Amino acid sequence: MKKIVVTGAAGQIAYSLLFRIANGDIFGFQEPISLSLCDLPGSERAMEGVAMELADCAFPLLREVTIHTDPFSGFKGVDLALLVGAKPRSPGMERADLLNDNGKIFVEQGRALNEVASKEVRVLVIGNPCNTNCLIAMHYAPKIPRENFHALMRLDQNRATALLATQAKKLVSEVKNVIIWGNHSATQVPDYSHAHMQGKRVTDFIKDEKWLKGEFIELIQKRGAAILNARGKSSAASAANAIIDAIRALYTPTLPGEWFTTAVITDHNAYGIEKNLVFGFPCRSKGEGDWEIVEGLEWNSFIKEKIEKTTGELLEERKCIEQLLKRK
């Protein structure tokens, strides 16, 4: 049985996520599931309502649902922690503004993971700014390998894949190996230069290089903000879907020659990105929840410049929370 905690369990993303997890969408249709719902004090009734609906689905795999407002009880024995909950960004607010408020949440959650989660736990941080929140959580969980922590970049990968497919009039399933380097923010680097469609380069189908280097990249970088402006709320269903895809990618052997993007610790990367950042890289998995960075992909000068910018932003974010990283 897999025990999974979802924080922000009373929120919008969780409402799109929990039912799919309980259905078996992450670990397949043989693996029983125990769900731990965790959210802030005051959310108990809303979580009870979600638990009632989960029960009413009569999911064959769902063995247990528990409700928590304290991560030290909610994270007990978990194999997978999906850290969705964070103060949401409101229209016009920059994600860097969130660092102070949300940093504190991830200190406490890191400590809870350290004390009570399975030592094999895999952690995916979704709450923004997710890369730096992830860095905080891993700092406060020294008993858990830093390699077990991820920040969600799959939503960006999915957005870029879908947009390229639409532009080239191809099927989404025909577009492979789009990479998102760096931070899940407006500086992220959607990179089509190693992607292919039906085995050919993207530029064989999309001839308009001005669009690829301009509008394409900007649309992906600003997609989260565009959805926020349109809905008055952050993306939810597409974020939940990306969480499912991100974890499945870690637990499914990656096909030869393919890769997926996840944000992981930079401590052992061969691309020269400074250590102790959580950075989006192309990765592969052998299927056991592990990953390795796909090394040796070349950056043209255009991509290199953008990667420097997103790295610079991550360094700035880290500077904002350096006091938190000094403490234990």
- Positions touching ligand LMR (CB under 6 A) are 89, 128, 155, 224, 227-228, 234-235
Q: Indicate the residue whose CB is closest to ligand LMR.
A: 224
d(CA 41, CA 31): 31
Shortest gap between Cβ of 99 and ligand LMR (angstroms)? 13
Sign of CA dihedral 275, 279, 281, 283: positive
Judged by beta carbon, residue 90 or residue 252, the one nearer ligand LMR is 90
Contact indicator for 262, 246 with CB cutoff of 8 Å = yes
Dihedral angle of Cα 158, 164, 169, 174, to the nearest 10 degrees:
-60
Picking from 292, 293, 312, the residue whose alpha carbon sits closest to that of residue 304 is: 312
Shortest gap between Cβ of 234 and ligand LMR (angstroms)? 4
Contact indicator for 188, 178 with CB cutoff of 8 Å = no
Question: What are the tokens at 69?
Answer: 């407002």
Q: What is the DSSP string of 116-161?
A: HS-TT-EEEE-SSSHHHHHHHHHHT-TTS-GGGEEE--HHHHHHHH
Q: What is the DSSP string of 49-77?
A: HHHHHHHHTT-TTEEEEEEESSHHHHTTT
Shortest gap between Cβ of 224 and ligand LMR (angstroms)? 3
The active-site residue, picked from 68, 139, 150, 184, is 184
Judged by beta carbon, residue 65 or residue 217, the one nearer ligand LMR is 217
Judged by beta carbon, residue 227 or residue 320, the one nearer ligand LMR is 227
42 burial (CB, 10 Å; 0-12 / 13-18 / 19+) is exposed
Shortest gap between Cβ of 235 and ligand LMR (angstroms)? 4
**H helices within 206-260, ranges in order?**
209-211, 217-221, 223-231, 237-250
Shortest gap between Cβ of 95 and ligand LMR (angstroms)? 6
Judged by beta carbon, residue 91 or residue 287, the one nearer ligand LMR is 91
Q: Is residue 196 annotated as a catalytic residue, yes or no? A: no
Question: What are the tokens at 241?
Answer: 């879907």
Picking from 127, 43, 35, the residue whose alpha carbon sits closest to that of residue 136 is: 127
d(CA 38, CA 85): 9
Structure-token match 């990479």, residue found:
179
Shortest gap between Cβ of 313 and ligand LMR (angstroms)? 14
Q: Which residues are catalytic?
A: 184
